[in-house]
Amino acid sequence: MRRWRAVLSSDAFGADPGPAGDRCPGCRRPLPAEARFCAACGTARAELRGPTTAGRKIVTVLFCDLVGSTELSGTLDPEALRGVTLRYFDAMRAAIEEHGGTVEKFIGDAVMAVFGVPAVREDDARRAVAAALGMLAALRALNEELDAELGIRLAIRIGVNTGRVVTGSDASARQALVSGEVVNVAARLEQNAAPGEALIGPDTLRAAGPGVRTAEVGPLQLKGKAQAVTAHRLLGLDRGMPDSLRVDPPFVGRKPELSLLEREFTTAAERRSARMLVLGGEPGQGKTRLLRHWLGSAGARRFGAGRCRPPGERAGLQPLADAVTSLLARSPDRPHPPGLDVLAQGLLADGTPTPSLEDTGAALVEVLAALADPAPVVLVVDDAHWAAPLLLDLLDRVVAALADAPVLVAVLGRPELLDVRPAGAHRVLTLGGLPDAQALRLARALSDAPPAHLLERAGGNPLHLEQLLAAPAGAGGDGVPLTLQTLIGARLDALDPAERRAVDLACVLGREFAAAELAALDTGGPDLSAALRRLVRHRLVVPDGASFRFASGVVQEVAYECLSKQGRAERHERAAALRSVRAAGPAALGGHLERAHGYRAELGLTGARTEGLRRAAASSLAEAGARAAARTDPGWAVDLLTRATGLLRPGEDGRLPAARRLGEALLALGRIEPGRALLAEVGASAEDPVEAAHARLSLAAVGQQQAPAPVARQTLPVFERAGDQSGQARACLRLAQQEQTDGRHAAATRLLARALRHAERSDGEQERASALGAIGVSLWRGPVPAPAAVARCRELLAAQGRGRRAVRVTLNCPLAVLLALGDDEAGAAACLAEAGHHAERLGYAEAAAFLPLFGATVAALGGRPREALALLTAAAAAARELGGGALLSGALLDTARLRLDLGERAPARAALAALEEERARTGERLSFAAVAERDGLLARLAATGRDRDAALKLARGAVAEAGRTDSPILQGLAAADLARTAALLGLERERALAAAAAAGRFRAKGHGPGVRLAEALADHHPRREAVS
């Protein structure tokens, strides 16, 4: 007790009383003239809120109307009626303002109130619900008076709705201005309520949290709303602080923090002295959850906890009273110290320091010391960022006075608590976001397949992550859940003007920004460096090298949504002029210009300025889209070019190139029909012959109207005259692919070399990758021996593949087959794995067909026919999705060969029949190579049916067709098919000659599996070994 007296005398808590009429708004005791807080209960003298500028924020709107006022006016004298009406208005206003609402206006007999203006609070919806119940209760009390005095009773209807509105405020006049659909729906809900009833909207019910008792009404078809609204009749509200945002997801990580808590507790126990730990962090980081986990992990550890509420709602020492009360409840067998009687008179009764602050503090020290003997105890004060200064000062002095009692006082709060309780005499633990690995563990515990972009947006904040994952898929898509909008919006509204200005400027730039960018974006405002440092302390932004970034993507999104559309448009327009934005490239520049134009258009602001923004945005986005397409990023190209073409008007400069590139990018992603439609539009246009030529060539590649080679011959002169390097590369590539299809690989290689030169000059990555991949195919199928072909592929990869995903995909696939020809299965598998890795990131739809096709070839060469057949099934399905063509024909031919090699004649016939159906559908002739393969297989089928003449004719014809090519693999396959046909027909001499011919062609290529097959055929013992 003596120590407490010494601590108390070191610094006075209060000051001299002021005028008797100046009283605390909480406990109504007199206040000293200079006091900002009540010394008795800690309530602020007046809630200090800055003016709210025009913006968009989440608020809750309440409408209340008097029922039957017309009948009442016919009953009462006008003077009496006026008196009743004023008493009714006073009662309603008092109930609204008691719960923190602002009466916007009285409209006849109706009252409109807003919760969230001038400043948002995270529990605005709950306050509005409590106010609605308070209004109904106030009316019941008023009715008792009116019934006794005038013999009348009043009835009201109430509607409450929550959502985003446009706001502006004159804080001095307390007159809020809000507008938007939310206001209209609140009014409609009131009109649909029965007398004496309050209806609340679904978003209000969600935002108010648990403990709101309702009965569902509806769905209601409200006037002005296209969709029905499910309303809820308000029945009651469980009192006490809701834990709506404090659910208990699985506890993940935090081992260092748990260790620190345990060390502090152990130190207090061993030294038998009190210690204070300040645990700070932004909302949602899990401060309360961490402490609960630690307290629960140690079994019977005794603790008491209390939570602070916003200023003015409770007596300032009530959280301490709650903590002591719960600690006493957990200590039923402890002795009853005399100080407990003192606390029972004031602190434990009503949260005030009765009979005096000195006596209360001394009693508190005595009681805590008794409770901590012999085992240590923990006293928890949560949400201490709302704590009255009196409470925090009292805790400091109690801890100092408890020199020989093992008590750990844990004070939990948001970053602003650290501004008033910095590290010094107390231990401070700042809780940050979860590391990526732990955030992923938490996400997987909450959702089977958590999307990666939600992890990025949450920024390691467990609450943000949980709320994002729990948001309904159809409720706003990537929008921020209402609970998080109100939570973060309240933090933003609590910032000082300079801090809020910095946030409002930064959120337009994205999640990352530099201080210099804010300075350049600002228009004559004060320097924001100090404000940024304070935002770092608030944990709203974090330093990132020389720049800053928002603590989570959700904070940036909510800040952006709070800006007015006019403000967004102006800031985006200014951002487009920033040197850093222009240096970032046309996509960043176009994004700002696009948003500036879009918001101006939504506001109906037309004219030269808006038109200039539209054209500039379209130009930048089209340029960025062309770059993305050239860099083999079709997904990004589609996004950019879709936005560009949406801004460009028919016939406007730049629309045809953008539409053509968009069509090509759509084809690359497998979106065939919309891609064809755009390309057909461009191809039919006479405005730009070069763009039309590009479109026709791209359409031909997907089997539209004409085959690629004839269209390439027609368009190549157009590209040559225009000096269009990209067009020449594409045309040469299509001509080369026709040569490859016909098995003339030497001729194809010459055309591909030309295509590659044009691709390099145009800096077109897709054309470069396609030309190099086709060169690889000719190295595989053509006359170059496999060892030399492998070396050439590796040379090309080394020279052209660095930093080019598409090149590494297209060259690694034929290289894998070449390695398999030399029995290097491990090397082949590595090449396919690398190709698959890069293809997945590129997003090209065609990869779903050609990757399994190459994989099947490697599997067949390795003697794994069943694996190969599964891959071919996948390849054929993907090829059909892409419109069929050469990929489908190749998959069907390979399937027929493998089935026949396995002795499965019926499936082999089915595959060949499907090949014929595809040929008939497209109307294209089969190439020499395809005819050679098909006829060789048909010959073997005919021989099994003992149709000697047909079999020999087909087999010998296949050899002849293969001879028109320069492909030793195809020639070897045709000779092997003839040998097998002859063996089935008993023609031993022809079998031996054909087998020898096959062996010669396979040896010339360096085709190990083919040589072994030919040798087996020469011995008349063919192995079940597929050869491609």
Q: Return contacts of 870-877, CB within 8 angstroms, 24+ apart.
A: 872/898, 874/848, 875/849, 875/850, 875/851
Looking at domain 255-430, its CATH superfamily turns out to be: P-loop containing nucleotide triphosphate hydrolases (3.40.50.300)
Task: Output the CA torsion sign for 136, 139, 141, 143.
Answer: negative
Segment 552-558 shows an average pLDDT of 86
The 8-class DSSP code of residue 174 comes to T
CATH of domain 55-237: 3.30.70.1230
684-736 pLDDT tens trace? 887 889 999 999 988 888 765 578 888 999 999 999 999 999 999 999 999 99
**Burial tier of 897 (Cβ tally within 10 Å: 0-12, 13-18, 19+):** buried
Whether residue 284 is predicted with pLDDT greater than 90 in this model: the reply is no
5-9, 31-35, 242-246, 891-895: range with lowest mean pLDDT: 242-246
Segment 198-227 shows an average pLDDT of 84
Q: Which pair of structure tokens corresponds to residue 274? A: 């009190």
Percent of the chain with pLDDT over 70: 89
User: How high is the pLDDT of residue 929?
Assistant: 86
8-22, 553-567, 769-783: range with lowest mean pLDDT: 8-22
User: How high is the pLDDT of residue 1025?
Assistant: 39
User: How high is the pLDDT of residue 993?
Assistant: 94
Segment 41-50 shows an average pLDDT of 44
Whether residue 60 is predicted with pLDDT greater than 90 in this model: the reply is yes
208-219 pLDDT tens trace? 888 899 898 877
960-1004 pLDDT tens trace? 999 999 999 999 999 999 999 999 999 999 999 999 999 999 999
The answer regarding whether domain 565-689 maps to CATH 1.25.40 reads yes
Q: Is-contact 102 176, C-beta < 8 A? A: yes
Percent of the chain with pLDDT over 90: 40
Segment 1021-1027 shows an average pLDDT of 46
870-915 pLDDT tens trace? 999 999 998 888 877 788 888 999 999 999 999 999 999 999 999 8
Whether residue 607 is predicted with pLDDT greater than 70 in this model: the reply is yes
Q: Is-contact 42 389, C-beta < 8 A? A: yes
724-778 pLDDT tens trace? 999 999 999 999 999 998 899 999 999 999 999 999 998 888 899 999 999 999 9
The span from the CA of 508 to the CA of 526, in Å, is 19
Q: Tell me the pairing of strands 407-413 and 275-280.
A: parallel
Segment 844-860 shows an average pLDDT of 90
Most confident of 69-83, 254-268, 844-858, 898-912: 898-912
The span from the CA of 92 to the CA of 66, in Å, is 11
User: How high is the pLDDT of residue 539?
Assistant: 82
Q: Model-level pTM? A: 0.74
The span from the CA of 738 to the CA of 753, in Å, is 15
Q: Band of the pLDDT at 10, cuts 50, 70, 90?
A: very low
Instruction: End-to-end CA distance of the chain: give it in Å, rounded.
Output: 96
Q: Band of the pLDDT at 25, cuts 50, 70, 90?
A: very low
928 versus 128: the higher-pLDDT residue is 128
Segment 31-50 shows an average pLDDT of 48
Whether residue 922 is predicted with pLDDT greater than 80 in this model: the reply is no
User: How high is the pLDDT of residue 350?
Assistant: 79
255 versus 1016: the higher-pLDDT residue is 1016
Q: Band of the pLDDT at 425, cuts 50, 70, 90?
A: low
Segment 919-936 shows an average pLDDT of 83
Q: Taking all residues of the chain, what is their mean pLDDT, rounded to a whole number? A: 84
Whether residue 31 is predicted with pLDDT greater than 80 in this model: the reply is no
Segment 300-328 shows an average pLDDT of 80
